[in-house]
A and B are shown apart, each in its own frame.
Chain A
Amino acid sequence: MTSCSSSARKASLSKIASNRLQKELMEWQVNPPVGFKHKVTDNLQRWVIEVNGAPGTLYAGETYQLQVDFPEHYPMEAPQVIFIPPAPLHPHIYSNGHICLDILYDSWSPAMTVSSICISILSMLSSSPEKQRPADNDRYVKNCRNGRSPKETRWWFHDDKA
């Protein structure tokens, strides 16, 4: 468990949110995004998803875990998505697992899904030119020590490709 996840919202899912998540889960079981595996639990509000680095990329053969926490008013509000450390070495992924990706924050739209998030994250990983941490990693991670959620961060998105 990461230190940052301790601030996950406690309010349980609204009826709309759990209906929608049931549907997403069903769709996932029929048609999962390539390279991802949902680890089945009975907790609909927190999904743990296994990510396999795409063949032919810097992350080929590597496996990471994403933790997706859903707020009460999902999908009107974005889910909180982080890598469970160890997080992949990537210029937009901090060592505490926080991901700098606009659709997780300002550019979230309720018409997006867990599946579409996963595809974006895999595409972000695959397009990475080199394995390295963001330049401000240490400073940022230090500021998050009190269990701050990445959703409370004012993100400044590094580039449009992300």
Chain B
Amino acid sequence: MHDANELTSAEEDDYYSGGDDDIDYGDAQEDYNYEYGYGNDDDDDDDDDNGDYDFMHNDSDADEVSASRAQKNYTVLKEEDIRKIQGEDIMRISNVLSISREAACILLRRYNWNVNDVHEQWFADEGRVRKSVGLFEKPVVQFLNAKEVTCGICFDNYSHELVHSAACGHAFCDSCWKAYVSTSINDGPGCLTLRCPSPSCGAAIGQDMIDMLASDEDKEKYRHYLLRSFVEDSRKTKWCPAPGCDYAIKYVVGSGNYDVTCSCSYSFCWNCTEEAHRPVDCETVAKWILKNSAESENMNWILANSKPCPKCKRPIEKNQGCMHMTCTPPCKFEFCWLCLGAWIDHGERTGGFYACNRYESAKQEGVYDDTEKRREMAKNSLERYTHYYERWASNQLSRQKALADLQQMQSVHLEKLSKVQSQPKSQMKFIIEAWQQIVECRRVLKWTYAYGYYLPEYEPTKQQFFEYLQGEAETGLERLHQCAEKELQNYLNAEGQSKDFNDFRTKLAGLTSVTRNYFENLVRALENGLSDVDSQGASSKATSSIAGSSKGKGGRGM
């Protein structure tokens, strides 16, 4: 997987120039994608052969195409980026409307930081706009003749130099102003629309007044609210929802694919801000999450305490610690609680009475090998739901584990490996890429279970095809996971440089690329509603399109 693009694209240019015959080609393609966003995404891989898809024509690195295809419809913004853009927008309005920066800021905030809206409203009816936000052109009261001015809050008298007023001219003494501003800022973001204290005056208090009157701490709070308003009120930006992440995402609205990956590495859906959920759409995700929360109490109890007897299907509640279960008479079937297999197949070899190796190893790899058995059992709706929920949840867990492994890899193992194999760390990037791919695949795989749950039962061909694709995806991912985890271990533990390390690199990079392609095709196929499957049930074309392309591209790296 590729990181989300940041403002600087120097790194990416570097990445693209890796190919041998396509250095300029990569750049051109990037421009293309930048302009047209994600619009060119609906090319099927069948098109490769037809030549419709120019970029794929050249038999160069297909990864580059897919990587760049998934980019440029959003930007990750750090705090300084946000401030910069905000400042530029304010400057633009200030210049075009010939008003102060403070006034421009008040206007932008009023129109949710939409520059076009400000222009439109202002030029349609400047007077109305000014009135609504409290931007006065001339004072409504003047004290020029009086020697002293009475502060409208404490009612003490002051000479002119000691009072301040907004554009309206209502005078208040320095300390009352300060208390007023401080109270408002400490009340929350409402301070951004602060008005003159005089009842029914309504003159806006801009940032210039705040800067003059607020304490440093309060000024900082105000600046923070202003930043938050820019991100939260604008239609084009959202905060990254990951806990503790301060980045925002600027999204090209209307550009299709909603999945974004923040620089903090959290992937989420820009539309619904749930975690990234391609190939499932937002509505299905909302339905699924609601279902999970509605049934979770029920579900958790059932998952923890009861399972249907693999033979007679009656729910069995586990009441003892041992995994050896015996169903109540007349069934009396003896089975293993963990793998639901017949107990007769178990013994010391499989872990005795307290564990089940079949189960443990399957769990470690993220799949249960009793998939078929469970599938048969998922007959009534709860069982059916359990089936999908369990797999959804277990892929979620696998993903978290893989994420932890990835971090471990980055922080500890890579360094070590680079020493042992005496190769620079930059040459170890393929391992990180493999793990990033595993994390991404677990995410996709997880959501395919929500997808499967909502697949209409009256379309058995689609279901069969879906399950075939899902099965292939699991197998492919297992292969990659195995290689990145187990085979890598040999090189991690090696005493010195391994001769076949470069072969390992080729293999792992190849598997990464094959798996990436397969999953990308899978996501597209599911997003298209498996439309390749026609009602006659001829799924051979679609099968060959997905499986075939993965095979074809896979040949390169293996």
Contact = CB atoms under 8 A, between A and B. Distances in A.
Interface of A: 16, 19-20, 23-24, 27, 73, 75-77, 103, 109-112, 116
Given A76-B183, A77-B183, A110-B180, A19 B154 contact: yes
Given A73-B183, A110-B197, 12 more contacts: A19-B154, A19-B156, A20-B153, A20-B154, A23-B154, A24-B155, A76-B183, A77-B183, A109-B198, A110-B153, A111-B153, A111-B170
A89 B258 CA distance: 56
Contacts of B91: none
Nearest to B153: A110
B154 A76 contact: no
Chain B interface size range = 10 to 19
B152 A111 contact: yes
Contacts of A16: 154, 175, 179
A77 B186 CA distance: 12
A28 to B, nearest CB: 12
B201 to A, nearest CB: 8
3 A-B pairs with least C-beta separation:
A111-B197, A76-B183, A111-B152
Interface string B140-167: 0000000000001111100000000000
A154 B170 CA distance: 30
A45 to B, nearest CB: 17
Nearest to A23: B155
Contact of B198 (A19, A76, A103, A111): A111
26 contacts: A16-B154, A16-B175, A16-B179, A19-B156, A20-B153, A20-B154, A20-B155, A23-B154, A24-B155, A27-B155, A73-B179, A73-B183, A75-B153, A76-B179, A76-B183, A77-B183, A109-B199, A110-B153, A110-B179, A111-B152, A111-B153, A111-B170, A111-B172, A111-B198, A111-B199, A112-B199
Contacts of B199: 103, 109, 111-112, 116
Contacts of A20: 153-155
B180 A76 contact: yes
A23 B183 CA distance: 22
Given A76-B180, A77-B183, A109 B197 contact: yes
Contacts of A76: 179-180, 183
Interface string B410-451: 000000000000000000000000000000000000000000
B199 to A, nearest CB: 5
Interface string B171-190: 01001100110010000000
B156 to A, nearest CB: 8
Contacts of A111: 152-153, 170, 172, 197-199
B176 A110 contact: yes
A112 B154 CA distance: 11
Contacts of B179: 16, 73, 76, 110
Nearest to B176: A110
Contacts of A24: 155
B200 to A, nearest CB: 9
B243 to A, nearest CB: 28
A77 B179 CA distance: 10
Between B179, B180, B198, B199, the greatest number of chain A beta carbons within 10 A of the residue's beta carbon is seen for B199
B307 to A, nearest CB: 47
Nearest to A113: B155
Between A19, A73, A76, A112, the greatest number of chain B beta carbons within 10 A of the residue's beta carbon is seen for A76
A20 B176 CA distance: 11
Nearest to B179: A76
A75 B172 CA distance: 13
Contacts of B197: 109-111
A74 to B, nearest CB: 10
B546 to A, nearest CB: 55
A101 B487 CA distance: 73
Between A16, A103, A109, A112, the greatest number of chain B beta carbons within 10 A of the residue's beta carbon is seen for A109
Contacts of B153: 20, 75, 110-111
A38 B234 CA distance: 51
A156 to B, nearest CB: 17
Between B152, B155, B183, B198, the greatest number of chain A beta carbons within 10 A of the residue's beta carbon is seen for B155
A27 B198 CA distance: 18
A76 B175 CA distance: 11
Contacts of B170: 111
Nearest to B182: A76
Nearest to A26: B155
A26 to B, nearest CB: 9
A27 B155 CA distance: 10
A24 B154 CA distance: 9
Contacts of A112: 199
Contacts of B152: 111
Contacts of B175: 16
Nearest to B198: A111
B149 to A, nearest CB: 14
Interface in B195-214: 197-199
